[in-house]
A and B are shown apart, each in its own frame.
Chain A
Amino acid sequence: MPKCTIDGKEIEVAPGTSVIQAAEQAGVRVPRFCYHDDLPVDGNCRMCMVEIEKFPKLQIACGTTVSEGMVVRTQVTSEKAKVAQRDTLEFLLVNHPIDCPVCDQAGECYLQDQYMENGLHDSRTVLEDKIQKRKVVDLGPIMLDAERCVVCSRCIRYEREVTKTNLLEFVNRGGSTQISTYNGGPITHEYAGNLADVCPVGALLSSDFRFKMRVWFLKETDSVCPGCSTGCNITIDHRDCEAYRFRPRRNVEVNKSWLCDPGRRLYQTIAADRVTTPHRKGGAVAAPSVLLDEVVAKLRAAGQSSAFLASPRASNEDAFTFKKLAEGLGGRLDFRVGNPQDKVKVRKDQILQREDRHANTQGLLDLGLGVTGVETLLNDCKAGKVEALFLQDGAMLEDPGVLDAAQHVAYVVALATHQGPHLAAAHAVIPAAMWAETDGTFTNYDQRVQRFKRAFDAPGDAKPGWEVALDLLARLGKPMNAATAGDVFVLIAAETKAYADLTHRSLGSLGRAVGDPAKTPATA
């Protein structure tokens, strides 16, 4: 473990740590363009110059490995490093078009940040003399503006190392160097959104987010992508109860700094066609408490001939309270449609996505929701043994097997997030909140329990699944000692061996793996 001194602060770092990482650990952010935590070091931008004792010249912090007794002085304490960084920045800005007012990167742009921190020089280039490059080049999911590019090659290294598609490359020489795809063709893979995140400036921007919102208006909430069983960590950027985009949140154990495009697009589902009011069959709107009383009466009448079908999209909190509801009535209980549990760990591609398109199949398995087997439950429905069926996700009615079974049941209740013709089969529809509108946890394929936080309010009368289940339990006369999702999780931890001693707080922002690491291979 080599020890080094950074700006007078002595720290011990792991062998092989670069100076830029060590400085980060010491609390100093060395400015950078080409260095990225999850990409190989290239060292071409020359922005991260630092002064290291016994080196005759300044060194790049990203390409220098910490050795025993190294004494580093960054821009904080070294005037030489500061001047070098300012000079580098001036060079990078020589041909920059300075179109920040129309650039979507404004607000999260490395050039802006670093100019404000230690640049603030007046330009020596006349605007008309700047080299003109291609602007507004449509690369499908990405918009390229070569004039804004600082030629850091982050995107090229991303294409080479992460997606292995090699779609981007430098063309031309000198000041005219710019990035390009072959013949200006589109970016075709499912991980294009990361290019916009990787780009430190506004050269590569998301076509989807283009001109939607200035980033400084957006609030960030830590969350987990519900798109598949990988459980990538994300940040939801939202304003006024509306999600504008998802960004990957770095978690080395799960998704590094990446997120797939299908996952990114899920923000659109939050606003689209939501169920906002409780209603009966045929669309007659009912007051929430009236409908819940009605549901409770029907479930109580059905008693042991009730059936509960949980959804692998539900959070652990939702699933646990749902299970308690089923147990309280002695009804049949299972989850899943199809066999997602067989696909939980199966990769869809070699980067992030997995075949199981549900976020929490593993969590429901851990909580013991697979009791009778979903086929038995549906066959019982068809045989007329079930008098009341409670579906945790209205979308399950889109499955022909479930729809057929539901048509044989006298009373079908569905917690639903989205409207659709399939909901016509339900006798009572209770609006439900989506994961972004409540607190909770998902357990990913690797048995890693990860927490997501409430970003904004659910629309209309929609309530989180756990809140509805707690309400129903209280109306049944079997109240649970919980008022928040965190309280529910404490009860889960008390009953589930694998989750023992966990709380929402102890999960932290990156989650905790509770599975046996020997059995579950880590992400490649």
Chain B
Amino acid sequence: MASRIIAVNRDTHPGIFPIVYGMWLTLRNMFETLFVKGRSATIEYPEKKRNISGRYRGIHLLTAREDGTPKCVACYMCATVCPAECIYIESGERPEKKIEKYPTRFEIDLLRCVYCGFCVDACPEEAILMSRENDLVGTSRAELIMDRDQLMNRGKLAEVGRGYHPTDHDVRRPVRIAALERLKSEHGIVPGMPKRS
């Protein structure tokens, strides 16, 4: 609400009117929030939830291939880029020679995570995405370290919906453009097809 500056002359005697006006405002708001639909500033959480942006960075999820195995190839890019160092991966061998590698363990410590979304940006396979889920509740710390299977089968996903994922805006393009700019300005290298002299 836009603010107004009111000059107050303290020598006057305004009488009862300002008090009545103030109380009327308060009471009006009170009754409006109680009885007028859509006027309320609060919601009945957790029965009702706020409508959250589609790019919201909530609790992670791991995507699956068509056969149900993780899309992740255990390249450790997310673990490398993670500023909170909350991702732990162990890798194993897949029978398919085209894929070779998959995570035998993939754990995210949600209590250490800062929800920056760098892991989603770094992933070359679109294997790790974020959901819009933001109510992180547990009875112990160990419970909030999510393992691979929990991350792949996120029960609430259908309810809360998918959050931040790289196709929202092409995150790699600006990064690459910035890298090329830096190469040009700092090293004088202009990549691309070499110019023939």
Chain A residues with a Cβ under 8 A of chain B: 79-80, 82-83, 86-87, 99-102, 106, 118-122, 135-136, 210-211, 214, 216-217
Which of B4-12, B96-104, B164-172 contacts the other chain? B96-104
Given contacts A101-B124, A211-B93, A214-B80, contact A135 B100 (CB under 8 A): yes
Report the Cα distance A100→B180, complex, angstroms.
20
Nearest opposing residue in chain B for A136, CB measure = B97
Contact B73 A121 (CB under 8 A): no
> Which residues on the A side are within 8 Å of B101 (C-beta)?
102, 211
Report the Cα distance A216→B76, complex, angstroms.
10
Chain B residues with a Cβ under 8 A of chain A: 73-77, 80, 91-93, 97-101, 124-125, 180, 183, 189, 191-197
A329 to chain B, nearest CB (A): 50
Contact A79 B197 (CB under 8 A): yes
> Which residues on the A side are within 8 Å of B92 (C-beta)?
211
Report the Cα distance A333→B191, complex, angstroms.
68
What are 6 A-B contacts defined by CB distance under 8 Å? A87-B194, A101-B125, A106-B75, A120-B189, A217-B76, A217-B80
Given contacts A135-B97, A135-B98, contact A102 B75 (CB under 8 A): yes
Report the Cα distance A358→B191, complex, angstroms.
53
Nearest opposing residue in chain B for A97, CB measure = B98
Given contacts A101-B73, A214-B80, contact A119 B98 (CB under 8 A): no
Report the Cα distance A119→B187, complex, angstroms.
13
Given contacts A83-B195, A102-B73, could you give 6 more A-B pairs where the C-beta distance is less than 8 Å?
A: A83-B196, A101-B124, A120-B189, A121-B193, A136-B97, A217-B80
> Which residues on the A side are within 8 Å of B98 (C-beta)?
135
A200 to chain B, nearest CB (A): 20
> Which residues on the A side are within 8 Å of B180 (C-beta)?
120
Contact A120 B191 (CB under 8 A): yes
A210 to chain B, nearest CB (A): 8
Contact A83 B125 (CB under 8 A): no
B195 to chain A, nearest CB (A): 7
> Which residues on the B side are within 8 Å of A80 (C-beta)?
197
> Which residues on the B side are within 8 Å of A119 (C-beta)?
191
> Which residues on the B side are within 8 Å of A87 (C-beta)?
194
Nearest opposing residue in chain B for A213, CB measure = B76
Report the Cα distance A135→B74, complex, angstroms.
18
Given contacts A102-B75, A214-B80, contact A122 B100 (CB under 8 A): no
Nearest opposing residue in chain A for B189, CB measure = A118
